[in-house]
Structures are given as structure tokens and as C-alpha cells.
Chain A
Amino acid sequence: MDHIVTHAPDFFHDSQAESTKAVARSVWNRVLSSLCVGLSLLTLIPLVSIVYLVLKNGLPLLKWSVFTQLPPAAGMVGGGFGNAVLGTLVMVGLGLAMSAPIGILSAIYINEYAPSGRLAQAVRIVAKLLTGIPSIICGVFAFAMVVAASGTFSAYAGGVALAVLMLPTILLTSEQALLGVQSAFREASYGLGATKFQTIVRIVFPDALPAIMTGLMLAVARAAGETAPLIFTALFSQFWAKSLSEPTASLSVLIYNFSTVPFPHQIQMAWTASLVLVAFVTLANITAQLAFSKKQ
């Protein structure tokens, strides 16, 4: 190749003095790109391995009966964890019923009514702090407020613990959802003579609803998998719950209990329960992403 430098610049090739630098640049570029790709693949490994292990160990015992039967006694085979599935659903439901209204209405207040006020600022700071709270502290709180006061472990206490866990997530994602509503819509609404309440109910909330639902689903997915808040609030039970004010089984506590006993059948059960829990959490997350995405 002819690298004689002429007066006219050559746009398509680096001059000879630059060619080694150009090669080094190109090599370095490829190294870094490969590094990025490689590390991205690395991040998939934990997720893939968990799914693989849970499927491999949990599938053998996965039958309809696990949803309808009660946990087997120590050393026995057969049985299921229907009461635990029901317990998780009930307590997550209770937690949602308590935290969703508070979280959503608070988000509406801090975003629509007095966004720069001191109360709003305080609420935001506290919510962000609460997201970092160890989940066992939620359990301790619920223990003091509900269990100690009522004298019994209960699904209510478990629900309260989960509600405290879910509240900051719901509040902050709802606030983001409301921020995502174009201010042009609010302006148009006020310009037509609407009150703030009408604007929120007719325009802002419906537009923010998909994102709010996503936040709720994510909070549900997290709460369903928590063990620490339930250990000394709902405790556990071998039986179907007859009321909400008695100790209640849950999937996460069942997995914890069954993994630590020396009976292979129970340990196998724990894997199957893990499979059910992972499936539920995954389903909730996928629903959140797909079903509630805004259609443009």
C-alpha cells in the first residue's frame, strides 16, 4: 500500500506514522467490547443456575396434591403444602390491602397537592429510608404492635409486617408513575375549568394506573418471598387456617422449616415449594412488565 504523504489528505487511511496507534486502538476496542459481553453473560449465570436447580430438584414432587394436602409429619412421606400456599396468598393480600391505599394516596398528596411542602419532603425522605429497612425489623415491629398486643401469632400480624415492607416501594413507584403523567394533560384539564380533584380522578390517575399496577406487582413479588417478617408474626401451622387470628403457614417459612430437618422427603418438599414460589414471583414480575405496559 502506498503511504507516500502528498499534499492532498487521504481520507480513508491513516498515515504510516499513525498506523501502529490505529492497530492498538482497534485491538483495545475489541478487548473492551468482549469484556462487556462476557461480563453480561456472567450476570446471567446466577439466575440460570437458580432456575435450573429449582426445576431439577423441585419438579419430581410437583403434583396437584401439593396444593391440596397438608404438610407431612416428621419422617412421613406424601402430603403437600396447600395451607402454606394459601397462607402466603392471604398474608400478601392483607399486606397489599393495607399498604396500597396508604402508599398510593400518599403519593398523590406529595405529587399533586403540595410537592414542595415540608410534609412531602419528609415523606419522601422517610420512604427512601424505609426501603432499606431489614425485613426482620418489619417483623419485629409487627410483633410488638400486633402479636404482643393481641397475645397470639396471626395472619393479621404477618400481613402488617408485609405491609410495612411493601409500603415504601408502593409509595415511591406510585410517585414515579404520577410524575410520568405529562403536565400538559393537567394544564389542559385546569384550562377547561376542572378542579384539582377532578383532574386527578379523571386524567392523572387513569394515566398513571399501568405504572402504579407495575409497582404493586413488584411489591407483591418481593413480599411473597420474605421469610424474616413472618417467622415471629405468623409463625407456622401444620393445618389449614380456620381464622386470620391464629398462626398461619406460609411458603417461605415452610421452605425454611423443611430445609433444616434431616428427612429427605421434607427436603424434597422444600425444593418443590421453592419451585412454586419462584414460579409465582416470576409470574408476578412478568405480569407487571407485560400486562401493564402502556400502549403508545
Chain B
Amino acid sequence: MTESTANPVDAPNAAPGRPDFLAVRDFDFFYGKKQALFDINMDIPEKRVTAFIGPSGCGKTTLLRNFNRMNELIDGISHTGEIRLLGQNIFEKGIEVIALRRSIGMVFQKSNPFPKSIYENVVYGLRIGGVSNKSVLDEAVERSLRGAALWDEAKDRLHESALGLSGGQMQRLCIARAIANRPKVLLMDEPCSALDPIATVKVEELIHELKQEFTIVIVTHNMQQATRCSDKTAFFYLGKLIEFAETQKIFSTPVQKQTEDYITGRFG
């Protein structure tokens, strides 16, 4: 049932991975009676960074949170259309939401490590999945903390509380926690907005490395961050996808006027 969809947007230097790793088809989303997303269609490519930009309230975080069905924690929501991971609709009846959320990890805007030790934070996703073998957990901790560029800073204090870390370290811990599950996709909702510039640089460097292993979708308010970090950028406005193209192209020669107005700061 895998459709090979012709990618409607430009894709020069085609990436080696699947162009429609995560695909959105005719997707409408409602908070109760209020429609928040209108007929979204997009293909998110594998192992590249896709950025969602747009003014506040445009629906970018709403769409992001649909990818791992986190919006279902809210009462009264509904949707039409499909979101497909590797061709399979994530909203299908037989799908276990828990398994889906292990395949699609999320890093939140404000870092939220559990009030437990660093070690226990990283292995949380594995423990709830039933893994209790200590050597497996130890290996996962080292792999994830290295992957999040936190190993050197954390290796001597693995069993100390995670709340003793600095803001930037806590966010990298949340990234480590998310990648410990070895997800296929990593969703990041404004991961640097609560961080100082130095910590932001570290996380952005991290994103460059992580995309070798994970498909990344990042919501950001900071357009410079989008140009620094992402390969493709999607511009949303009032719940609609206005333009979706290679980052270089969208920021230099946007096709839609609204895109150009937002990028040049005429509104936002």
C-alpha cells in the first residue's frame, strides 16, 4: 500500500533516503468545532531536517503533535485525512499508540526531565518497554548520552538528580532520553527557545549530527535557526501550508507573497 507520490515541491540534490518517510495527506484538524489545520499535504524526507516556521498560532506545533498522536491527550479533538509513516496510516484502527510513540520521539519546548537520576531519565523509555537487563540499559545510556553530546559531562554523575543540570544540559538530556528508544523520527518543538545562545549552538550542532541517524522535524520561531539547521522548510500561516521547499530556496526566492512577507519581517 505504499504510494510513490510525486513530490510536488522542488527537491534538488535528492537525498538518499525516502522522500515520503513521513507523509501528510489531506489532513484537517479540529479542536472541538474550531478548525486548526486546513488540507495539509506534505512529504517529509528521511534522515534530513525539516523545519516548520510561521507566526504564533499558525498550526505548526499542532501538526507536529499529530505525528506522535500527542494531541489525543486533549479532549474533543478530531481530524480527517491521514498521516503515514513509511506508508502506513498512523491513525489506523490496529495501531498501538504506545508503539507509535516509541517510534516517533519528541523533545519539548521547555525541557522536562523527570525528578529522577540522569541514568533513570535516559532509560525510562526502555524500562516502560519492558527492558530490565542492566547491561542493555547501561549500553543504551552511554549510546544515548554520547549521541546527545552529554556523555563527558554526565558520565561521572549518572546517578545524581537530573534537576542539578544546567538548562542546556537538561535539554540535551531530554534529547538523549528521546533517542534512547531508537525512534525513527525525532520531533522537536522549539527546542532552543528556553536556552541561552551558547547552549543553543550546542543543540544545533547536535541536530546536524543526529540527522545522520534520525529523521528530524523541528518547529522554530527563529528563522535564522531554520536556515542554520534545516534542509527543507515549511511555512505555515493560519492553519494552512503556504510553501514547502528546500531551505535555501525558500529563504532566497520564495514563491508565495505571504512567505516573502513573513521572511522579510513584514509581519510575524
Binding site for B on A (CB under 8 A): 116, 182, 184-185, 187-195, 198, 202-203, 207
Main secondary structure of the interface of A (DSSP, over half): helix
CA–CA, A116 to B76, complex, Å? 12
Q: A192 to B105, Cβ gap below 8 A?
A: yes
Interchain CB contact (< 8 A) of A195 among B75, B98, B100, B125: B98
Residue from A116, A188, A195, A198 within 8 A of B108 (CB atoms): A188
Do A202 and B128 form a contact, CB below 8 Å, given A187-B108, A192-B102, A193-B101? yes
Closest A residue, CB atoms, query B102: A193
Bound Cα distance from A203 to B114, whole angstroms: 7
Q: How far is the CB of B74 from chain A (nearest CB, A)?
A: 11
Interface size on B, residues (CB 8 A): 26
- What separation, in Å, do the CA atoms of A207 and B129 have in the docked complex? 21
| Chain B residues with CB under 8 A of A207 | 115
B136: CB under 8 A from chain A? no
B98 to chain A, nearest CB (A): 5
**Contact between B98 and A188 (Cβ–Cβ < 8 Å)?**
no
Contact at A184–B108, with CB atoms within 8 Å? yes
Which residues of A sit under 8 angstroms from B178, Cβ to Cβ?
191-192
Identify the closest chain A residue to B96 (Cβ).
A193
Question: With the chains together, A184 CA to B109 CA distance in Å?
Answer: 10
Interface contact A194-B98, CB-CB below 8 Å:
yes
CB distance from B125 to the nearest CB of A (A): 4
Alpha-carbon separation in the docked complex, A27 to B241 (Å): 65
Scan B120-148; emit 1 where CB is below 8 A from any A CB, else 0. 00001101110000000000000000000
Is there contact, CB below 8 Å, between B112 and A193?
no
CB B145 to nearest CB in A, in angstroms, measures 16
Separation of A187 and B102 alpha carbons in the complex (Å): 14
**B198 at interface, CB cutoff 8 A:** no
A22–B70 Cα distance when bound, in Å, is 59
Contacts A184-B112, A185-B112 given; does A191 touch B98 at CB 8 Å: no
Measured between beta carbons, the chain B residues less than 8 angstroms from A187 are 70, 73, 108, 112
The answer to whether B108 touches A193 (Cβ under 8 A) is: no
Task: Provide a sorted-by-A list of 14 A–B residue pairs whose CB atoms are within 8 angstroms.
Answer: A184-B112, A185-B115, A188-B174, A189-B114, A191-B105, A191-B108, A192-B102, A192-B124, A192-B178, A192-B181, A193-B99, A193-B100, A194-B98, A195-B98
Q: Which residue of A lies closest to B76 (CB)?
A: A116
CB distance from B93 to the nearest CB of A (A): 18
A187-B73, A193-B181, A198-B128 given; A182·B112 CB < 8 A? yes
Does B68 count as interface, using CB distance less than 8 angstroms? yes
**Bound state CA distance, A194 and B181, in angstroms?**
12
Taking A184-B110, A195-B98 as given, write out 12 further A-B residue pairs in contact, using a Cβ cutoff of 8 Å, ordered by the A residue number: A116-B75, A185-B115, A188-B112, A188-B113, A188-B174, A190-B101, A191-B105, A191-B178, A192-B105, A192-B178, A195-B128, A202-B124
A contact residues around B177 at 8 Å (CB): 188, 192
In the assembled complex, B106 has its CB within 8 A of some CB on chain A:
yes
Residues from chain A with Cβ under 8 Å of B174 in the complex: 188
Q: Is the CB of B70 within 8 A of A185?
A: no
| Contacts A187-B112, A188-B114; A193 near B98 (Cβ below 8 A) | yes
A277 to chain B, nearest CB (A): 37
Check if A192 sits within 8 Å of B70, measured CB to CB. Answer: no
Contact between chains at B70 and A191 (CB < 8 Å): yes
Decide if B75 touches A193 in the complex (CB within 8 Å).
no
Residue from A182, A188, A198 having most chain B Cβ neighbours under 10 A: A188
| Measured CA separation A164–B152 after assembly (Å) | 55
On chain A, the residues within 8 Å of B99 by CB distance are: 193
Residue of A nearest to B97 (CB): A193
Question: A193, B128: Cβ atoms under 8 Å?
Answer: yes
Q: How far is the CB of A220 from chain B (nearest CB, A)?
A: 26
A181 to chain B, nearest CB (A): 10
- Complex formed: what's the CA distance from A280 to B178 in Å? 48
